[in-house]
Structure 1
């Protein structure tokens, strides 16, 4: 797939690849997509998870195939002649998703993405991260990280990475987190608590985080309110790149260290984050590295 379609950072826009499972329309951020290939019969793997169809080997790389219909509890395709594989890379993991048709790519603003309410996506259980209305249809953006983690929990947040940090002294340094996943926000907060950081402010997207920072700035005691920002990239209303851009363009807020903690950390994304002024960037499974980054940034930057 031509990754040249990817937008420059900080515009608060994204490209969504629309595809179908049966009559349902779904979406994935183009930044996660490496390639789209026609369906070929996979090689089955004995005793694999029921959602794993098997493996195939494009470009001399063995890739596991997830049957997305099974993962979503929907019927399999009746006609595989139009079926496709969406090859992805996120959290430093390559995976292919078997879908029924690929419709096309849409450029949208994060502000146009509606976050599902608790009836659709309660923390820890739902796989919908956002909904877009385009013309006469609704496109559901799926949480591919959760789908993969449900199949293999080892691909998720590596909480064991902070086991050696649990005897540290309590630290009241205020840290603001922008993370739209309720489950991940809770896990990150629990991990930081175990590592000694007890003063955590949680927000559910970049817009909410930025409004909180402006509120702290107006109060005149910003230094006492927040000393570090941790942000995801993919979030409704305002993404983490746009949040980073706004912080680093503000003469008062720019002294706050910003850590981008996302499943989308690739060399291309690191380049974009660096251009926006992010102080550090790391992939979501690396919770131990996140704690080390906070230690370093708070220790080095006197704000």
Structure 2
């Protein structure tokens, strides 16, 4: 999988590859870029007083990694055949986490514009699902793995109080455009950026909406640099991902002056070159909000 992933990263399209897996009778997907490897289940060491969704810990080549039972986390029944169970070893938000699933089926390559925003009716899963895509006449749900981990370990998320580390801040008149599909993270980013002195912030749910918004400004005859001073974007979003958005902005003659900062759980040493190739002015890993604010200061102040 490592070799396959490296090839995909060079494509530079509005596409992603997902590993399809099963929990209970439902099919789910995880971005290949989050997956380090898929292994057979091994013996798990229990942790006293651990979160109910955490089975315990395992040793992967000398590194201690927690194991999260997705069946428990999602409230879904066990799979009928334990022999098909797998451990998906992941890395995001600068954390390594193993997810215990009931089966891994295949890898699909799809376009972000095929992914729909989840409706509030998916068997109680709507709080855990970031998107849904139809593959071979079946619905595959894309899970919010960051949210699942934050519910287990709140310290791994964004905290407004972290801004206090920066010290006193003056109010800024700069206009920021922030692209983030998670309602929870949009709320946290607004509170945090407001605390950092930024009050003029426009939020969007995906890159397609933002690019249309920026084009509308240009088509009205206004200079883009007078209306927007910075774009901050996530990577994983339905319709248009952050890398593709960044590339489109930087390749557009009227928009290329806009600085773009990518703020994502997928900023790792293995994947950083993808944002560089797209033309990003900065890349900060979630949940490092203090580093994000420092990068904003560096880019536009």
Matched residue, 1:256:
258
Which segments of 5 or more consecutive residues in structure 2 lack a partner in the other structure?
Answer: none
- 2: CA distance between counterparts of 1:217 and 1:296? 25
Matched residue, 2:209:
208
Matched residue, 1:4:
4
Contact 1:179 1:205 in 2 (8 A): yes
The alpha carbon displacement at 1:169 in A equals 1.9
- 2: CA distance between counterparts of 1:186 and 1:121? 25
What whole-Å deviation, never above 9, does each CA across 1:201-221 have from its counterpart, x for those lacking one?
A: 111100001011111112223
Q: Decide which of 10, 32, 48 is 2:34's aligned counterpart.
A: 32
Matched residue, 2:228:
226
What whole-Å deviation, never above 9, does each CA across 1:100-128 have from its counterpart, x for those lacking one?
A: 00001000000000111345599xx7010
Matched residue, 1:180:
181
Matched residue of 2:202: which SS?
strand
Contact 1:9 1:276 in 2 (8 A): no
1:58-69 matches, cutoff 5 A: 58-69=60-71
Matched residue of 1:81: which SS?
helix
Instruction: Indicate how the Cα distance of structure 1 residues 170 and 148 shifts in structure 2: closer, same or farther if over 3 A, else same.
Output: same
Contact 1:129 1:143 in 2 (8 A): yes
The two structures have a TM-score, normalised by structure 1, of 0.94
Matched residue of 1:96: which SS?
strand
Matched residue, 1:298:
300
- 1: CA distance between counterparts of 2:217 and 2:166? 30
The alpha carbon displacement at 1:26 in A equals 0.4
The alpha carbon displacement at 1:68 in A equals 0.4
1:121-160 matches, cutoff 5 A: 126-160=127-161
Matched residue, 1:44:
46
Contact 1:120 1:126 in 2 (8 A): no
Matched residue, 1:93:
95
Alignment of 1:111 onto 2:113: yes
Contact 1:166 1:196 in 2 (8 A): no
What whole-Å deviation, never above 9, does each CA across 1:214-241 have from its counterpart, x for those lacking one?
A: 1111222322210000000000000000
The alpha carbon displacement at 1:74 in A equals 1.2
- 1: CA distance between counterparts of 2:241 and 2:262? 11
The two structures have a TM-score, normalised by structure 2, of 0.95
- 2: CA distance between counterparts of 1:89 and 1:194? 30
Matched residue, 1:246:
248
Contact 1:91 1:264 in 2 (8 A): yes
Matched residue of 2:219: which SS?
helix
Contact 2:25 2:79 in 1 (8 A): no
Instruction: Indicate how the Cα distance of structure 1 residues 164 and 7 shifts in structure 2: closer, same or farther if over 3 A, else same.
Output: closer
Which segments of 5 or more consecutive residues in structure 1 lack a partner in the other structure?
Answer: none
Matched residue of 1:199: which SS?
strand
Matched residue, 2:237:
235
- 2: CA distance between counterparts of 1:164 and 1:61? 31
